[in-house]
Chains A and B, each alone.
Chain A
Amino acid sequence: MTIAIEVRGVSKQFVLRHTRSIKEAFVWLMKGRKGDLSEKFHALADISLEVAQGETVALLGLNGSGKSTLLKHISGVMLPDSGSVRTRGRVAGLIEVGAGFHPDLSGRDNVYLNGAILGMTEEQIDERFESIIEFSEIGQFIDTEVKFYSSGMYLRLAFSVAVHTNPEVFLVDEILAVGDEPFQKKCLARIRELADAGTTLVVVSHDLDLVSTICDRGVLLDHGKIILDGPVDQVVARLRGAA
């Protein structure tokens, strides 16, 4: 078994900062650092997790349990306060569909821009361009500025770029609710295809029925701690029981 993601003893504290200016920080220093300048809370508390290559894992939990924060650590957007995160191969995150899309650029320009942001090379995008357009069903609107797209078209194009990045590790956060039902089905089929081809998947979603059809393994988080790690059905049942 080759490990794709290794999370070891990761803790993360968030600072709820009260002050945003040098003036307030200065006043606080002058007063002899009385009181706490900021309030802290643990988003992740000593999390350890290993994901093997080709595994499909669902991160589950209620709002604020640290799922998205963990995903951001795996993607490298955030760095842990303590502990370590290591990954093998290229990690691509569908952390939010369309982050990096610019409304004033055409669909075509956005495909290139977003593809490059997600780590594709120029040749890869050239090669997959037709396939991206076809999958998104955007058709003749590809040269229209994205701001004139309907929200469905926008999401379809963004999703299409993301699933064409062919990473070794694919992180998906709460984006499976894109487009109409036929398109959703197509997306799910594509994600399963990736999983079957050996891509490691880490999915965050509140749609429990949906994740249990995609993922084999479930990890339940609560207040930044892993409280259950097992087959997805078991974890979903536990979460439902608790809620």
Chain B
Amino acid sequence: MNHEELTTPGMGGGLRDVVRSRFLLKLLVSKELKVRYRGSVLGILWSYVKPGVQFVVFWFALGVFLGMNRNTENYPIYLFSGIVLINFFSEALGNASRSIVGNGGLIKKIYLPRELFPVASVWVSGVHFLPQLVVLLAACLFSGWRPGLAEVAAAIAGFLIVALLATGLGLFFGAVNVYFRDSENFVDMLLMIATWASPVLYSWTMVRDEVAAPVLAVYQANPLTIAVELFHFAFWKPTTSAAVTDQAIAVPPDLLDFWLPIGLVTSVIVIILGQLTFRRLEGRFAQEL
């Protein structure tokens, strides 16, 4: 009745299988979106309220009290364009790291490409990123933002770097979390550092003025730093004026032709390493969960 070859069950093709199971991925994502705000009055509005409150807190604490409003033109836009990206990263990586243990009941019983779960987590975070992007765009347009092709490309590249990075780290920590639950706590700590280790709340020149050149190089090679600066370039820089902001150092020099490729390559390396680790560890998921 069929003449297929004998195959070894449970040997998946990794992330390629995720592409093949697009339909299941779509259903897992829509499940997460439906289940997320179940039983809450505000529902999807929470996706606006949370970053909104966070923004106001930072704006007061850093913009008003610490004086960032005075030395950075359009600081609210500077701040928000970084925050939305870091929020996306935090949610994606945090949920991806918990996704394998969280879906343990299923993974123990039915074989399916397990990479689906971290990827679905990142995808869901991408959907939650959209409303924040809409708010950001509205604020930018209000401040006289007129993007060119380079700006749009930079924004897409920034998003891509963060999405790849979160998927790669999510695969890694999600798999390790099955064996050591310390992993998710480690990720929480990492995410706390991530907000401060990239120029979200302050400007990169403050780092440049304080640290030695090698340290600055490491700081700038951080894919998150690159992605955040790409967002600054795309959303904040066009709203500034040459009279107030020094256009040469508003975002780091060589951002597009040097740092952007570095960020992309780093993220791709991370995703490859994450996938390799995942493949090595997934064989024993069913018995360790």
Contacts and interface: CB of A to CB of B under 8 A. Distances in A.
B180 A89 contact: no
Given A72-B286, A102-B31, A113-B27, A88 B182 contact: no
A75 B7 contact: no
Contacts of B111: 75-77, 91, 93
B8 interface: yes
Question: What are the 3 closest A-B residue pairs judged by CB atoms, nearest first?
Answer: A76-B10, A76-B9, A76-B111
Given A22-B180, A53-B1, A72-B286, A117 B9 contact: no
B253 interface: no
A117 B182 contact: no
B2 A77 contact: no
Given A53-B1, A84-B8, 6 more contacts: A76-B10, A78-B10, A88-B2, A88-B7, A168-B1, A198-B1
A104 B109 contact: no
A124 to B, nearest CB: 10
B286 A121 contact: no
Nearest to A120: B23
Interface of A: 3, 6, 14-15, 17, 20-22, 25, 53-54, 72-79, 84-89, 91, 93, 95-96, 99-100, 102, 104-105, 109, 112-113, 116-119, 121-122, 168, 198
A54 B4 CA distance: 15
B283 interface: yes
Given A79-B283, A112-B27, A85 B8 contact: yes
A104 B35 contact: yes
Contacts of A121: 23
Interface in B18-61: 21, 23-24, 27-28, 30-31, 34-35, 38
Interface in B128-143: none
A1 to B, nearest CB: 13
Given A3-B6, A121-B23, A78 B286 contact: yes
B27 A76 contact: no
Given A77-B108, A88-B5, A105-B31, A14 B287 contact: yes
B112 interface: yes
B2 A104 contact: no
A85 B182 contact: no
B180 to A, nearest CB: 5
Given A21-B180, A89-B2, A89-B4, A96 B109 contact: yes
B110 interface: yes
A77 B10 contact: yes
A195 to B, nearest CB: 13
B23 A122 contact: yes
Interface size class of B (residues with CB under 8 A): 35 or more
B266 to A, nearest CB: 26
Contacts of B6: 3, 6, 86-88
B211 interface: no
Contacts of B105: 99
Contacts of A95: 109-110
A179 to B, nearest CB: 20
A7 B189 CA distance: 45
A104 B11 CA distance: 32
B106 interface: yes
Contacts of A100: 106, 109-110
A78 B287 CA distance: 7
B181 interface: yes
A177 to B, nearest CB: 17
A54 B182 CA distance: 47
A84 B107 CA distance: 21
A75 B9 contact: yes
Contacts of A73: 9
Nearest to B180: A22
Nearest to A69: B287
Given A96-B109, A99-B109, A117-B112, A76 B11 contact: yes
B34 A91 contact: no
